[in-house]
Amino acid sequence: MSAGAMDFLPFTRPLIDEATIAGVVEVLRSGWITTGPEARRFEDALAARCDGRAVRVFNSGTAALEIGLQIAGVGPGDEVITTPLSWVGTANVVLARGARPVFVDIDPVTRNIDPAAIEAALTDATRVLMPVHLAGLPADLDAIYGMSARRGLRVLEDAAQAFGSRWHGRPIGSFGDLVAFSFHANKNLTTSEGGALVLPDPALAPLTEKLRLQGVVRSGEDGMEVDVLGGKSNITDIAARIGLGQLPQLDGFTARRRALAARYFEEWPDAPGCELPPRDPGGNSNWHMFQVVLPERIERAAFMRGMKEAGIGIGVHYPAMHLFSLYRALGYREGMFPHAERIGRRIVTLPLFPAMHDADVSRVCASARCVLESLS
């Protein structure tokens, strides 16, 4: 079969089973479709996976991050240290709080934030350390939490891509300070759109609930009070029901992703200059993405066009965000974070999702070999 006749293989595709679809239909028929009993059930189920810690859910991972910053007391004049190699929402939420995102470079092997660079960037204005677990591989949490303890800083883990990942055998979210997850359509567990925040203290749950729904507290039959400025970021019961259907399948999803990643390592063409992700022998990653860094001689856009012509979707996750105009206006410029800039220019995301077959990986690798050879 020619490439043109083959089905298009996207870089990701959610897997929603029929039982979950039927459950969503039941919610729609129930008459209660906004935040309600399904959202509470979803929070309880998430808490069970996070070693009993308090969890509150939202309509996006971005909302979880922003409310995490509010809980940490971040405001004008504060600094939040993070990585430039992430979805731009990581830093946008800092600006939304009136604070300054302080970018530092990455470790070129793990592609996660470099703890040594964090140490060098600390100032009296630093309030929060915000590591990102890129592609599901956890950042060095031992170093980061050690630093936070020594300096009296809060940690807000951007674990948007790390639900189901582990650190030294412990699930991400089951320990630490504030941990924000995303359940966007491309995540390992999806609610179509959604997110969650794991709290270090259950006493913070009432404040979190107020912040996600206009600061409102109800009492009695008709009592209502507002004593804090909240927003509108509550999840629907429709989305929560999707998440409840996904949760029992998560371990199977992760196992399949790990098997597919192992096959990529076996079959990826031996192309000089291509950099594969670290193999993760400790089994910490949930393999949210399998990302390759192309050699300098290969134009990324041309590689992506060639793969698209072969019926294969390729993603870019992510350009180094400090080079966006919004952040250049804050004084960031090219050359400040060379590792993040180089990888941000060359990185591509290959197809990886549980419904893929082993033959799909073989097809991706064979097509990549042809495209790389044609562009060399």
* Residues involved in catalysis: 187
Q: In whole angstroms, give the CA distance from residue 295 to residue 286.
A: 26
Strand partners, 213: 232
With 0-12 CB in 10 A as exposed, 13-18 as middle and 19+ as buried, what is 38?
Answer: buried
Main-chain dihedrals φ then ψ at residue 373, nearest 5 degrees: -65, -40
In 3D space, the residue among 290, 268, 286, 262 whose CA is nearest the CA of residue 277 turns out to be 290
Q: How large is the greatest C-alpha to C-alpha distance in the chain, in angstroms? A: 72
Q: In whole angstroms, give the CA distance from residue 162 to residue 42.
A: 18
Strand 55-58, strand 79-82: pairing: unpaired
Q: In whole angstroms, give the CA distance from residue 193 to residue 182.
A: 8
Sequence letter at residue 159 = A
Q: Measuring CA to CA, how many Å separate 296 from each of 134, 166, 268, 317?
A: 22, 33, 18, 17
Q: Is residue 319 helix, strand or coil?
A: coil
How is residue 183 written in tokens?
A: 């359940």
Main-chain dihedrals φ then ψ at residue 349, nearest 5 degrees: -105, 125
Residues in CB range of 229: below 8 A, 6 or more apart: 215
Q: How many residues are there in the chain?
A: 376
Taking a C-beta distance cutoff of 8 angstroms, is the pair 291, 12 a contact? no
Integer-rounded Cα Rg, in Å, for the chain is: 21
Q: In whole angstroms, give the CA distance from residue 193 to residue 166.
A: 23
Strand partners, 130: 82
Q: In whole angstroms, give the CA distance from residue 239 to residue 223.
A: 29
Sequence letter at residue 226 = V
